[in-house]
């Protein structure tokens, strides 16, 4: 009933707030002047081209890396605080686990390091993949290791789960199983998830929030439904020009393409779109591809994803 209404509700808690964070290496900036807010309880897809700074951003939130500029808060706490350490779990791309430990020893270590450890949940994830408890990590396949790393991250029962391209080495069935579990877990415990991935079509089924970083900065952020409904995919007959026809020029253009006799454009409409254009709502993949192909398109940061300029 309240969904979709314009009346402001009570302010949602923030899982992450970033104020102008940047990280510079000798070769240059990995991430630059990035400000955003991720409301608690969302499953947020983090999308961007290779080298855009996704791992850098997650590493700052997980306290593995200090920002060169700006500040970041997780549930209002500094990433290096005990509170953030307790509430955040990070599943890194390279899934660092001790190769000489058995699976059982790995879970035991998780239990000893984490006061809120959920052994049952962790064991369930391992056993449902038929991974033997007494196998050494070093003898497991890449996908099995990923499953154990998932078990360790879930067993911690974090309030914020940072997953850096967790799906890459999983077969389609396991990917589906672990993502279904992730959504059930997030729904049951209110866990906030920030998930980087290049699998755009899959994100549509998993995520209800989205952030795109490209060219060192944030290009798109907000609720998936809201982002989709504020864009229109236009189709019409090309008249040989790539530029928007004059009658459409007042809309915000993200991308224009001409293919054969067909003109297509992704726009953020400002008012009605008249004849003869066909106007459709884009799917998430179409929206993301348009922003990824056009890093200079005007950024769209929805109000729920904005922070005040200073912390």
Ligand X SMILES: Nc1ncnc2c1ncn2[C@@H]1O[C@H](COP(=O)(O)OP(=O)(O)OP(=O)(O)O)[C@@H](O)[C@H]1O
User: Which residues would be at the binding site for ligand X (CB under 6 A)?
Assistant: 25, 27, 30, 48, 50-56
- Which residue, 55 or 144, is less far from ligand X as judged by CB? 55
> What's the min distance (Å) between Cβ of 214 and ligand X?
9
Backbone angles phi, psi at 20, to 5 degrees: 60, 35
- Which residue, 65 or 183, is less far from ligand X as judged by CB? 65
SS3 262: strand
> What's the min distance (Å) between Cβ of 16 and ligand X?
16
- Which residue, 32 or 157, is less far from ligand X as judged by CB? 32
- Which residue, 94 or 112, is less far from ligand X as judged by CB? 94
Measure the CA–CA gap between 21 and 34, rounded to whole angstroms: 5
> What's the min distance (Å) between Cβ of 93 and ligand X?
6
- Which residue, 126 or 170, is less far from ligand X as judged by CB? 170
> What's the min distance (Å) between Cβ of 68 and ligand X?
12
Q: Which pair of structure tokens corresponds to residue 8?
A: 């402001």
> What's the min distance (Å) between Cβ of 54 and ligand X?
3
> What's the min distance (Å) between Cβ of 175 and ligand X?
18
Q: What is the dihedral of CA 287, 288, 291, 293, to 10 degrees?
A: -110
Question: Residues 288, 47: contact at Cβ < 8 Å?
Answer: yes
Measure the CA–CA gap between 143 and 140, rounded to whole angstroms: 8
Tell me the residue nearest to ligand X as measured from the CB.
30
Determine whether 28 is exposed, middle or buried from the number of CB atoms within 10 Å of its CB (0-12, 13-18, 19+).
exposed
- Which of 202, 251, 248, 207 lies closest to 230, judged by CA? 251
- Which of 54, 282, 23 lies closest to 168, judged by CA? 54
> What's the min distance (Å) between Cβ of 49 and ligand X?
7
Measure the CA–CA gap between 207 and 185, rounded to whole angstroms: 13
Query: What single DSSP character describes residue 138?
Result: G
Between the alpha carbon of residue 102 and those of residues 53, 99, 109, 137, 199, the distances in Å are: 33, 8, 11, 6, 31
- Which residue, 93 or 102, is less far from ligand X as judged by CB? 93
Q: Which pair of structure tokens corresponds to residue 33?
A: 């002047």
What is the pairing mode between strands 300-301 and 160-164?
Answer: unpaired
- Which residue, 54 or 156, is less far from ligand X as judged by CB? 54
> What's the min distance (Å) between Cβ of 146 and ligand X?
15
Q: Which pair of structure tokens corresponds to residue 130?
A: 């038929």
- Which residue, 68 or 252, is less far from ligand X as judged by CB? 68
């Amino acid at each position: 009933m309240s969904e979709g209404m314009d009346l402001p509700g009570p302010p949602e808690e923030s899982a992450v707030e970033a104020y102008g964070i940047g990280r510079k290496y000798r070769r240059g900036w990995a991430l630059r002047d990035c400000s955003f807010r991720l409301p608690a309880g969302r499953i947020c897809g983090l999308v961007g081209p290779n080298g855009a700074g996704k791992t850098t951003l997650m590493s700052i939130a997980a306290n593995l890396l200090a920002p060169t500029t700006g500040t970041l808060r997780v549930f209002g706490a500094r990433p290096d605080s005990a509170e953030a350490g307790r509430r955040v779990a990070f599943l890194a791309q390279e899934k660092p686990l001790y190769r000489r430990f058995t699976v059982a020893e790995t879970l035991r270590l998780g239990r000893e390091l984490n006061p809120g450890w959920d052994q049952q949940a962790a064991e369930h994830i391992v056993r449902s993949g038929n991974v033997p408890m007494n196998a050494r990590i070093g003898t497991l396949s890449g996908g099995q290791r990923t499953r154990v790393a998932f078990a360790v991250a879930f067993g911690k029962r974090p309030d914020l789960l940072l997953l850096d391209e967790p799906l890459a080495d999983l077969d389609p069935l396991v990917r589906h199983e672990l993502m279904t579990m992730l959504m059930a877990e997030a729904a049951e415990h209110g866990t906030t998830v920030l998930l980087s991935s290049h699998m755009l079509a899959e994100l549509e089924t998993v995520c209800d929030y989205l952030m795109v970083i490209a060219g060192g900065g944030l290009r798109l952020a907000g609720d998936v439904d809201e982002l989709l409904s504020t864009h229109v995919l236009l189709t019409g007959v090309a008249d040989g020009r790539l530029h928007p026809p004059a009658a459409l020029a007042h809309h915000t253009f993200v991308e224009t393409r001409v293919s054969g006799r067909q003109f297509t454009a992704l726009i953020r409409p400002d008012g009605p779109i008249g004849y003869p254009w066909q106007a459709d709502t884009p799917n998430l993949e179409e929206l993301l591809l348009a922003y990824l192909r056009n890093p200079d398109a005007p950024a769209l940061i929805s109000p729920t994803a904005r922070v005040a300029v200073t912390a």
